A and B are shown apart, each in its own frame.
Chain A
Amino acid sequence: MSKKGKISLSEDELILALRNKDKIAMEALYDMYSASLFGVISRIIADSTIAEDVLQESFVKIWHSFSSYDAEKGRLFTWMVNIARNLSIDKTRSKDFKNNIKNQDIENNVTIIDEQNSSVYKPELMGVRELTEKLKPEQKLILDLIYFKGYTHVEASEELGIPLGTIKTRLRLAIIELRKYFN
């Protein structure tokens, strides 16, 4: 469980190393972001084997399409998490996946995983409950739907029967709560 041997670079250093296709860039990328990405993937895909495959696909895609990343347009992690999320959603929409996995209720899925994490994992995640308590349930629901489930705000509006404007406002407020929390 120790982080010994893990590589960590500043985002600028990492971007430079990725441009040069250095091997250390791959290791740093994995060490710095695999858990965050796997968290997002695992909330969309409950099956751990499939989630692991998607994690691998995500890193391969990040590595190969890195030239299309533009730092002017956003942070590296934003770009990466969108790749991982899109690959995960593609997977859930594939025929195989639909045949193999019975769809679980979105909210339950997130809750179950968070509960598993809380019981199995570790001090650094203990803040999750505390954090989600700061969010109003309707804010958390929309954040999870869009951030962890890959719903578009239009889909979330249809799913929940809430106007688009309200969805957008709740999402923004949820993120503001996060910002406050992390500050």
Chain B
Amino acid sequence: MNSENILIKVEDIKAYIESGILELYVLGDLNHRERTEVENMLVKYPELKAELNLIEEALALYAEKTAIEAPGYMRDRIIGSIEKDIRDNSDNITGNETDDKKVISHKQFNFYKYAFAACLILLLVSTYLLYSLNGKLQQSNAQIASLQTEKQQFAKTVSFKNGELEVFQDASFKFLNLQGTGKVPNAKLTIAWSPVKRKVWIDLKSIQMPINDKSHQYQLWAIVKGKPIDLGVFDKTADTTKDMKEMKPIELADTFAVTLEPQGGSAVPTMDQMMVIGKF
């Protein structure tokens, strides 16, 4: 029974070999299922493996017999290209991951570095511009203020000059030269008075009186029916002025006089300090 089994097995294997499937296997001419089947058979039956070996050997020798030498340069070209692959691969394996991270973090660091520098430069430029603009603004404001002051002064001057002009244009103004008294005989002051308009001006240009010190001022008086009425104070300064000065208004007066009084004037004239006097 045993021998019969073996006989059948040998017959089967012979038939398997005769089918030519091993040749197709060697030539890579089987689909995946057929290939797996042959591989399983090869493991089970050493006879098949031996037959396979002979087929492979014959085809390898056939290939050797029909071999064609590749040109000499191909050896270096092929071995070189594989060596290069090996080098590239080992470079990749050893250094790739950490290098990538380094590169990324280095790039990030560079980005922040440059961003920070850019911000700093922007800040400095902005600060400089702010200061410079602020300076210009203050300059402009000062100019505007000074122009406004000038304008006001100019307006004041104009209105003042208009007032001065009125003195000469208005026929109701009367001019009176006040003459020095015993104290300063050659003292002089010209005043203009309009009883109609109740205005009194003194001509500062015409003052011929000593320069008063800082604790004293000259005071103009109108004598109405024997009583002195204060018309305001004025100064004789070192610098000559061509202006006139409007004093306090008065409607009725017959005599005008100037006395030297303490700074700010007095309620009652100090008679022994009378400088000039005149009568209409």
A178 and B57 alpha carbons, distance in the complex (Å): 10
Which of B74-82, B188-196, B246-254 lies at the interface? B74-82
Interface residues on B, range: 35 or more
Pairwise interchain contact A38-B67, C-beta atoms closer than 8 A: yes
Nearest B residue to A154 via CB reads B29
Main secondary structure of the interface of A (DSSP, over half): helix
Complex interface: chain A residues within 8 A of B52 (CB): 74
- Of B29, B70, B86, which contacts A38 at CB under 8 A? B70
Q: A30-B78, A78-B56 are in contact. Are A35 and B70 (CB under 8 A)?
A: yes
| 10 closest Cβ pairs, A-B complex | A168-B20, A35-B67, A82-B28, A172-B20, A178-B58, A36-B63, A39-B67, A179-B58, A39-B68, A38-B70
The answer, yes or no, to whether B150 is at the interface (CB within 8 Å) is no
- Measured CB to CB, the residues of A under 8 A from B are 21, 23, 26-27, 30-31, 34-40, 42-43, 52, 55-56, 59-60, 63-64, 72-75, 77-78, 81-82, 85-86, 113-114, 117, 121, 125, 127-128, 131, 143, 146-148, 152-153, 168-169, 171-172, 175, 178-179, 182
Pairwise interchain contact B53-A75, C-beta atoms closer than 8 A: yes
Q: A73-B39, A171-B23 are in contact. Are A179 and B68 (CB under 8 A)?
A: no
B residues 1-56 with Cβ under 8 Å of A? 18-21, 23-29, 39, 42-43, 52-56
The answer, yes or no, to whether B61 is at the interface (CB within 8 Å) is yes
Pairwise interchain contact A114-B82, C-beta atoms closer than 8 A: no
B residues 182-233 with Cβ under 8 Å of A? none
Complex interface: chain A residues within 8 A of B25 (CB): 74
